[in-house]
Structure 1
Amino acid sequence: MNLSNLKPAVGSTKNQKRIGRGEGSTRGGTSTRGHKGAKSRSGYKRKSGFEGGQMPLQRRVPKFGFTNINRVEYKAINLDVLASLVEGTQTATMDAAYFVANGLVSKNAKIKVLGRGEITTALEIHAHAFSKSAVEAIEKAGGKAVTL
């Protein structure tokens, strides 16, 4: 056996229908398209979403809501995550580059520090936004919350 004599298994393939090759083929004439009408013509293409004249689904279902173009998406980081990062190291400041290096956020993400968990080490944290509870907890531990 080699590449030149490989064949599919017997019975696994069928011959292609040869349409429009004369009356003797039994598929000449209308070429399985029936008689007349738009669907029998060449170049026919049904519009996507067309339901035979019935009001299509995308027009029956109402539109609602909107997308605020001024919305700012923040990547949230909680205090308990920061506390677990600090345990092994003697880091005093945490900025965007530190968060990216530790895999918490991507390079261009905006960071918001949230107040879940507790922090005991005095840290200087640089972020784009802080929740009130996070600022209180950071300052209570003797740290500083710096807004970028």
Structure 2
Amino acid sequence: MNLSNLKPAEGSTKTRKRVGRGAGSGLGGTSTRGHKGAKSRSGYSKKIGFEGGQMPLQRRVPKFGFKNINRVEYKAINLETIQKLAEAKNLTKVGMNDFIEAGYISSNQLVKVLGNGSLTTKLDVEANAFSKSAVAAIEAVGGNAVKL
């Protein structure tokens, strides 16, 4: 094999469709565009959301509500979950890395600790936010609620 006898693999290439080159080609006349209508014309491009002249969905459906661009989304973790995690791993300090390793959150999520359940051991808990009841329950057993 050398440069003079290289060719593409069998069946890997196709001949280009030459439209509008006379009736003998079989692709003359309408040039594979069919007869009349917007799609047969030059300059046609389908607009996003165009439904053939029918009133488009985004104009039929009324507008309502809004998205608050300043909203901060927290993943809620209850005290009972933290207690189970601390017992399972013999922890005295529970932080974001522990939640990630346990699979409760992903690395880019924020955590808010909620006061559902109860703590039986003294724990230092690190999170992005705490409810008042969670802080009270953590401090009641001698632990600390550390806000990140």
TM-score normalised according to structure 2 size: 0.70
Is residue 74 from structure 1 mapped to residue 74 from structure 2 by the alignment? yes
Question: 1:12: which partner in 2?
Answer: none
Question: 1:50: which partner in 2?
Answer: 50
Question: 2:14: which partner in 1?
Answer: none
Residue 25 of structure 1 deviates from its aligned partner by 5.5
C-alpha change, 1:127 and 1:22, in structure 2 (3 Å) is same
Question: 1:139: which partner in 2?
Answer: 139
- Indicate the SS of the match to 1:84: helix
Matches of 2:25 and 2:133, distance apart in 1 = 81
RMSD (Å), alpha carbons: 3.1
Residue 22 of structure 1 deviates from its aligned partner by 3.4
Is residue 97 from structure 1 mapped to residue 132 from structure 2 by the alignment? no
How do 1:1-148 and structure 2 match up within 5 A? 20=20, 22-24=22-24, 27-148=27-148
Matches of 2:127 and 2:40, distance apart in 1 = 65
Matches of 1:102 and 1:34, distance apart in 2 = 61
The count of corresponding residues between Structure 1 and Structure 2 is 138
Percent identical: 63
Matches of 2:87 and 2:108, distance apart in 1 = 26
Give unmatched runs, 5+ long, in structure 2: 1-9, 12-16
Give deviations 1:4-24, integer Å, cap 9, x for gaps. xx99xxxxxxxxx98545334
Question: 1:14: which partner in 2?
Answer: none
C-alpha change, 1:110 and 1:53, in structure 2 (3 Å) is same
Give the letter aligned to residue 41 of structure 2: R
Matches of 1:130 and 1:63, distance apart in 2 = 35
Greater CA deviation, 78-87 or 136-145? 136-145
- Indicate the SS of the match to 1:107: coil
Question: 2:5: which partner in 1?
Answer: none
Contact 2:112 2:129 in 1 (8 A): yes
Matches of 1:95 and 1:103, distance apart in 2 = 13
